[in-house]
Structure 1
Amino acid sequence: MSERGREQGRQGIVAVDISVIIPTHNRAAMLRSLLGRLDAQRDGTPAFEILVVADGCEDDTLAMLASLRTRVPLRTLSLPGVGPALARNAGSQVASGRLLIFLDDDIEPGENFVWAHVVEHQRQPGGVVLGPYPPLPHIAKDRFRLNARAWWTRHFERVSRPGHRFAFTDVLTGNLSLDAELFHAMGGLDPQFARAREDFEFGLRLIKKGVPIRFAPDALGYHLEHQTSTLTGKMVRRHQEGRSDALMARKHPDIQRLLEIHRFAGRTGRKRRLQMTIATRAGSVLDPLVKAGPRVLQMLEKAGLRRLYEKLERQLNGYHYLRGAAEVLGEDWRLPTDPTASADDIEVLEINLEQGLEAAEAMLAERRPLAVRIVNGTVPVGDMSHQIGAEPWDARHFRPWLNRQAIHGYLPVALAEWLGQPTNVRTPLSDFTLNILNNRSFHVHTIEQHVQWTQAKLPSALYDNTSES
């Protein structure tokens, strides 16, 4: 952290441009460790404040915060247990910073955390920045933790890929930053989604508004999910997810087909009626019995009964989800009519590669279309399709997409080459691939595709001398 920032922390000055907002509930020891890491950010980090929103804390969180001395300005807001969505909203209302960084209390941020968020906003102002928080490496001995770790790892591997097209389900407030003005203009997090899906719903509104979403890999924090996640907690979470998905289907019927509730509500027949009856009428009787579910799962795992474990886990997940949905839907499980426009109503932008890749990228950046048709002269190359709940296409998506298309287009040629057969297998796409690179070696072709994509990101001075060799 800069000397100016350290001095401000010692003096308790909070007139800063950056606020790190941390909602917390009964995690005093974990929070203390997190605050220590924020207090030791790298040199050059701009001055920032920490705002802890203690939400219904009954442990020694408040006492710990009162006695803690940090170089970074630290403030506390106490609430009576309103849930993470309202806690973040409340924190944003009293934050001093023009840039808000939301951070969960079970994440240990790296020393570049604040700096990386700031740099990304300076590079491209006006959007939302997501940072990774993969699971802290640990030995997971039970199936529940293995599955949880695998999910988080796959998620951040996917969103970190070059040219990833963000969807509303990628927006997680555990490590997210945006301008305070934008957050308030969007209305903050919807209090209806007090304890689940509040970030998904916020992400959907951001995407519909056309707000750019970016990923900052250096804004890294490690998720201590192995210390905070439990089977019992997962079942409670599933209940809240069912409730929130039912609310989401009502508020945003255009994406209801993407929600799990659509799969349940769309069923017909005896099985559906039985599930709905159990969720709406028999829940009060079954709930006490179902509470034993996590203990039974642990017994099945110890006994090595994997199939029974997986079957019971699915049943418990579904039960808790439906119980939550029933709180909103009651006995009427009909969802609102989906107003989504048909594919024929979506405007498709056509881009001709004969105009050059730079011209194509410029057009995508300017127009940000929902769907694109790519041609090379009169030869169709492929479609950048419309996807419900996903951000519009932009320039950064283009070369990675083209790279994947070109490789797939070359597969028939590559297979013939590998089999030692004449490379006379042709499709319009493989012809385009060969023409654009003028190269019929599959291995050289693949390498060249990666080189071309890399050159699009690096300053020209780094590769101009080598490109002529």
Structure 2
Amino acid sequence: MTYDPVASIIVPSYRGVGRLPQLLDSLAAQNDGTPPFEVIVVVDGVDDGSVALLEAESRFALRSIIFPENRGRVAALNAGFEAARGGVLIRCDDDLVVPSGYVAAHVEAHTSGGAVGVVGPTRDVHAPSAYARAYGEDAAKRSFAHVLSRSPADGWRLWAASCSITRETWESIGTYDDRYKGYGWEDVDYGYRLHAAGLPIKVVEAATADHHGSARTTRARSVKAFEAGVARATFRKLHPEAPIGAPAAGKGLWGAAVRLTASSLRSSRAVDRGARWVDRILPLVPTPVGRKLVALAVEGADLAGAARSSEDDGRNR
């Protein structure tokens, strides 16, 4: 079966007017000979100027889906994928800047054999700040190295902001799971479902994109960690057979410190308050000390989120 366009790029976007221009510019700069593609941007319930920006785009085929209210990333992804006309369906978050061979790399990965899931790695880009110096830049380097070192059997854990499947695979595997209500893990869930269906996950370095929307503060990173802890617990309930355990604090003095921190973070408000305190003192302490303080806040928040989810589950039974 042939498709026109060959590829559809699905972009979920919430308050994205400040991020979308860089992404659109990079998509407009794809190499000559790139397979025909369309872009579908799902504006998730808040028009902050994004609609006018998208209506003015004329460099490539672009369609918009406008939600009248915020429905969340899962709903945005599912709406975009369902509307897509291409044979290769590429998820691309609105805070990425993609390389000139991005579309071609995704398409090529689906034409060299059987059905696969394709991950395009992302590299966090940080503006100079106390948080970036103490934690963000180092975490970004470690995260990117981790992505490239994953074994093929574990590739499904990398399913995230830049990935692709064929239309046939989408129709077979189904939609993103709407039981993920907060931040995170709906993407890992989809990667696991691909893995469970026997599809290999291929990491394509040629599709590596710069990620400009990574957390810029301890507060932002910690709140995401708390929500991800909750979502991780949801994943474990839905897929008890998957090799994903509960978050662990570790051993020794560091583990004790993480557990103590987590015990004080019983809500997202508590996480927010504690992380703001860390952000205030980061410019005043040596970088190694700052790195430990941020790590303590983030790891404690993740552990607290998982514990909060377990408690809520127990109350709801």
Global fold match (TM > 0.5): yes
Deviation digits for residues 234-271 of structure 1 (CA, Å, limit 9, x no counterpart)? 222122112111112212223365331x669xxxxx99
**Matched residue of 2:5: which SS?**
coil
Structure 1 residue aligned with 2:278, among 297, 303, 316?
Answer: 297
Moved more, 305-314 or 290-299: 305-314
When residues 171 and 289 of structure 1 are mapped into structure 2, their CA distance, relative to the original with a 3 A threshold, is closer
- The one of 203, 210, 228 equivalent to 1:222 is 210
Equivalent in 68, 71, 87 of residue 59 of structure 2: 71
CA RMSD in angstroms comes to: 3.3
Matches within 5 A, 1:56-95: 56-66=45-55, 68-79=56-67, 80-95=69-84
Distance 1:114 1:48 in 2: 8
Aligned counterparts of 2:309 and 2:188: Cα–Cα separation in 1: 18
Deviates most, 44-53 or 294-303? 294-303
**Alignment partners' CA distance in 2, 1:314 and 1:258:** 20
Give the counterpart of 2:43 among 54, 63, 72: 54
Residues 77/229 of structure 1: CA separation in 2 closer, same or farther (3 Å cut):
farther
Whether 2:215 is the aligned partner of 1:234: answer: no
1:99 aligns with 2:88: yes
* Equivalent position to 1:154, from 115, 128, 142: 142
Give the gaps of 5 or more residues in structure 1: 1-13, 265-269, 334-469
- Within-5 A mapping of 1:90-129: 90-129=79-118
- Give how far 1:143 is off: 3.8
- Equivalent of 2:30 in 21, 30, 41: 41
Letter in 1 for 2:115: G
Which residue is equivalent to 1:132? 121
> How much does 1:296 deviate?
1.8
The C-alpha deviation readout for 1:160-190, integer Å capped at 9, x for no partner, is 35x9434156423311111122123212221
How far apart in 1 are the matches of 2:231 and 2:64? 29
Query: Which amino acid in the other structure matches residue 230 of structure 2?
Result: R
Matched positions, count: 306
Distance in 1 (CA, whole Å) between partners of 2:122 and 2:240 is 31
Letter in 2 for 1:184: E
What pairs with 1:198-347 in structure 2 (closer than 5 Å)?
198-225=186-213, 229-255=216-242, 258-260=245-247, 283=266, 288=269, 290-304=271-285, 309-310=290-291, 312-330=293-311
User: What is the identity, as a one-letter code, of the residue corresponding to 1:328?
Assistant: S
Q: What's 2:164 paired with? A: 177
Amino acid aligned to 2:232: D
Unaligned runs of 5+ in 2: 251-255
Structure ID, larger Rg: 1
Counterpart secondary structure, 1:192: coil
Distance 1:57 1:91 in 2: 16
Code of the residue aligned with 1:114 in structure 2: it is V
Query: Kindly tell me: are residues 309 and 181 of structure 1, through their superposed partners in 2, closer, same or farther at Cα, counting changes over 3 Å?
Result: same
Who is 1:19 aligned against? 8
2: distance between equivalents of 1:252 and 1:223? 29
Output the CA distance in 2 between the equivalents of 1:159 and 1:114. Answer: 20
One-letter code of the match for 2:144? F
Q: CA offsets per residue over residues 373-416 of structure 1, 9 Å max, x none?
A: xxxxxxxxxxxxxxxxxxxxxxxxxxxxxxxxxxxxxxxxxxxx
* Equivalent pair of 2:14/2:46 in contact (CA under 8 Å): yes
Q: 1:167 to 1:304 in 2, by over 3 A?
A: same
Which one of 186, 189, 205 corresponds to residue 173 of structure 2? 186
| Distance verdict in 2 for CA 1:302–1:205, change over 3 Å | same
Q: Is the 8 A contact 1:300 1:308 kept in 2?
A: no
CA contact under 8 A between 1:26 and 1:58: conserved in structure 2?
yes
Helix, strand or coil at the partner of 2:123: coil
